[in-house]
Amino acid sequence: MEKENQKQYLRRPGAAEYLDVSERTISDWQKRRIIPFFKVGRKCVLFSRGDLDRAIAKFTVKSIGAPP
């Protein structure tokens, strides 16, 4: 079984790149509790890829008349 090269947890720059948004947006979402995070010390904040995917999925808007 091959080991995946992707990390399960990302720091702010990695999370921003993963979601294709700015680091400032990640910080804003973190402060507003839109995306879950783990605080590992005073400055180190980690974001789980799965948590990011689920949080962003809440913002998905389906078009009218689209098949289910």
3-state secondary structure the chain: CCCCCCCCEECHHHHHHHHCCCHHHHHHHHHCCCCCCEECCCCCEEEEHHHHHHHHHCCCCCCCCCCC
pLDDT bucket at 1, cuts 50 / 70 / 90: very low
Asked if residue 2 is part of any domain, the answer here is no
Asked if 48 and 55 touch (Cβ cutoff 8 Å), the reply is no
Number of structural domains the chain divides into: 1
Q: Identify the domain containing residue 39 by its residue range.
A: 9-57
3 found inside a domain: no
Question: How confident is residue 59, by pLDDT bands cut at 50, 70 and 90?
Answer: confident
pLDDT computed for residue 39 by the predictor? 94
Is residue 52 one of the residues assigned to a domain? yes
In this prediction, residues 39-44 reach a mean pLDDT of 92
